[in-house]
Structure 1
Amino acid sequence: MNGSHISCVGGSASGTHPLSPGTHSFRLAGLVQRYQVHGSGPVCVAHPGGPGIDWEYMRMPVLEERLTMVYVEPIGTTEDSRLPSHPHGYTRERYSRFLEILINRLGVPKVHLLGHSHGAFVAAHHALRRPERLAGVVLYEGAPVTGAEHGAEAARLVEAFAARHAGHPGLPDVLAAFGAMSGMSTDEQTTAVARGVLPSYFADYWGNEERLAPFRDAVRATYISGLDEDGRPDLIDDRAALKGLTVPALVVVGRHDVICGMRWGLELDELIPDSRLLVLENSGHMGHIEEPELFAGAVRDFVLGTSAEPDGAV
């Protein structure tokens, strides 16, 4: 599908208003785009990570107490939302074009955009290229670059994680899951890898396993290659562009994140003019699960402080 020929037909499955609670769907050039609405207050659109991780891990009930959370189900994660080139072709530009249509349908002048992990890369791209409808952007566990430099830093942090947990009976399975990443080619393999590496995504998974195991078991994933339609990597280097970002930004990073760690959070904060930085000292990659009140408080204050809508308005 050529992103410049996106069309929009169809309607909402859960009501006539695009921000009514529940599941909504519409069609873009023959693909189904779904999103979920929960809560009330200024609108915050949340884009999950992966690419290909199911949206439900991003559910944030504490934020829903003061904000209208719109959880995007990115294209490719369901059978009826897959590109003809699936599992290829899911570039940041394509995700951003789908976001543009979704945001325009919501019927509010501006929204806040929160992206987690790969979703933070998408959110940065959108804020840089389509800032007109954004009141602010939250880059949650993102980075300004991908590729070899990002991979080397992640490898270093995974090695440090392994050293800290040497001798733990669960460590070999985590390392085996990381080793299996390069061989993924099915949804089942991708889900298994996502669940397998997850203990390293928390500051102390094994110390809180009774609470976190159900979260891990519920994670679902679709295999998405990270390549464009022609089989080329969708490599990212936003360092120069981020210096000119005009949208208010909040950067969130967990002290113990092994995938998009402190180096990248600090670099994002340094690059973006007048950005705010939240370091979650007792979190890894999943601060909204590990420190939900602190995470939600910072995001809520940022959204309410940069919103043109009064508190409680939709």
Structure 2
Amino acid sequence: MAGAGPVCIAHSGGPGIGWEYLRMPMLERSLTMVYIEPVGTGASGRLTAPHDYTLATYTHFLHAVIEHLALPKITLIGHSHGGFVAQRYALDHPERLAALVLYDTSPMTGDEFWSAAVAALEQFVEPHIATRPEVAGYVDALTSRLDRLDDDATTAVLRTLLPAYLYDYWGREDEFAPARRTLRMYAAPALSDNSPFDFRDELSDITAATLVLAGDSDFICGPRWARILHRNIPDAELAILDETGHLAHLEHPVDFCAAVTGFLSAQREDAP
């Protein structure tokens, strides 16, 4: 927990990425940020059966934290895989949400989702391969079988791929390299089969005030998926940040913070 103000819970992505990358200091100036350390990561416990790392499991633990806080309603930010969890939570427990921020996420996974991600990553690789030969292995890294790796090897894959998740990693390498060195990914959640899901037919049932936020250059959870969320969630707002990849809160923290706090301020003004 960090910051001061209304409580906002942030659920990180992955599955299996350590929560620390999602730290949002600018939001902490006006919100009490509660960062979930998902099961299977960091100091949180490990599940006995690998196949139990499901959206239902993550939603169960998220609800337990929200119940523990004993607040009437909270704001929930879900990033990437955390956005999958946030959508499921919004559908299962609408009465507990004051507002929902779906940040660089998707309403579905499966063959269509992963095919689009691979195609977008190939487009990222092409202009860089002459000067950055290491990008030649990016597609293989994205599609590698993480369930065969330990924590260190899984972390190495994530750190290898990080430049693809940012709009201009090498132009700002001095700024982003320290974060790259501290990223951590845990193998246990990757042992699950991560079964595909599709919420598109359910999105109209989300009743929480919702902001859908994405980077225009996010290769994996970018505008294509954000616009589906925006179209299908009643009265949702959409923010697409220019020259931004999958990590707007790191790349453009001022713009990211303005989008989130502006949305939340408007919700408070409209509240009865």
- CA deviations on 1:118-137 (whole Å, 9 max, x unpaired) are 00000001001111111011
Q: SS at the partner of 2:76?
A: strand
Residues 83 and 104, structure 2, Cα contact 8 Å, conserved in 1: yes
> Equivalents in 2 of 1:183, 1:137: separation in Å?
31
> Equivalents in 2 of 1:99, 1:178: separation in Å?
27
Pairing of 1:1-314 with structure 2 (within 5 A): 37-78=1-42, 81-85=45-49, 87-169=50-132, 170-181=134-145, 184-226=148-190, 232-307=193-268
> Equivalents in 1 of 2:122, 2:69: separation in Å?
44
Q: SS at the partner of 1:81?
A: coil
Segment of structure 1 superposing worse, 72-81 or 237-246: 72-81
Residues 178 and 197, structure 1, Cα contact 8 Å, conserved in 2: yes
Residues 88 and 224, structure 1, Cα contact 8 Å, conserved in 2: no
Residues 40 and 186, structure 2, Cα contact 8 Å, conserved in 1: yes
* Alignment CA distance shift 1:80-1:106 (3 Å): closer
Look up the equivalent residue of 2:88 and give its one-letter code. H
- Residue 233 of structure 1 and its aligned partner are, at CA, apart by 3.9
Residues 129 and 136, structure 2, Cα contact 8 Å, conserved in 1: no
> Equivalents in 2 of 1:134, 1:76: separation in Å?
25
Aligned residues: CA RMSD: 2.0
Q: SS at the partner of 1:76?
A: coil
* Alignment CA distance shift 1:76-1:182 (3 Å): closer
* Alignment CA distance shift 1:102-1:226 (3 Å): same
* Alignment CA distance shift 1:247-1:138 (3 Å): same
* Alignment CA distance shift 1:142-1:308 (3 Å): same
Residues 146 and 190, structure 2, Cα contact 8 Å, conserved in 1: no
> 1:22: which partner in 2?
none
> Equivalents in 1 of 2:80, 2:143: separation in Å?
20
> Equivalents in 1 of 2:111, 2:143: separation in Å?
16
Residues 47 and 71, structure 1, Cα contact 8 Å, conserved in 2: yes
* Alignment CA distance shift 1:179-1:218 (3 Å): same
- CA deviations on 1:4-58 (whole Å, 9 max, x unpaired) are xxxxxxxxxxxxxxxxxxxxxxxxxxxxxxxxx1001111100000011001000
- Structure 1: unaligned runs, 5 residues or longer: 1-36
* Alignment CA distance shift 1:174-1:213 (3 Å): farther
- Residue 172 of structure 1 and its aligned partner are, at CA, apart by 3.0
* Alignment CA distance shift 1:181-1:166 (3 Å): same
Q: SS at the partner of 1:180?
A: coil
Q: Where is the helix percentage greater, Structure 1 or Structure 2? A: 2
> Equivalents in 2 of 1:157, 1:235: separation in Å?
19
Q: SS at the partner of 1:278?
A: strand
Residues 282 and 291, structure 1, Cα contact 8 Å, conserved in 2: no
Residues 227 and 234, structure 1, Cα contact 8 Å, conserved in 2: no
- Residue 183 of structure 1 and its aligned partner are, at CA, apart by 6.2
Look up the equivalent residue of 2:19 and give its one-letter code. W
- Residue 93 of structure 1 and its aligned partner are, at CA, apart by 1.0
Residues 184 and 190, structure 1, Cα contact 8 Å, conserved in 2: no
Bigger-Rg structure (1/2): 1
> Equivalents in 2 of 1:308, 1:235: separation in Å?
38
Q: SS at the partner of 2:144?
A: helix
- Residue 179 of structure 1 and its aligned partner are, at CA, apart by 4.9
- CA deviations on 1:127-172 (whole Å, 9 max, x unpaired) are 0111111101111011111010100100110011012213122423
- Residue 185 of structure 1 and its aligned partner are, at CA, apart by 2.4
Look up the equivalent residue of 1:44 and give its one-letter code. C
> Equivalents in 2 of 1:152, 1:239: separation in Å?
18
Segment of structure 1 superposing worse, 262-271 or 42-51: 262-271
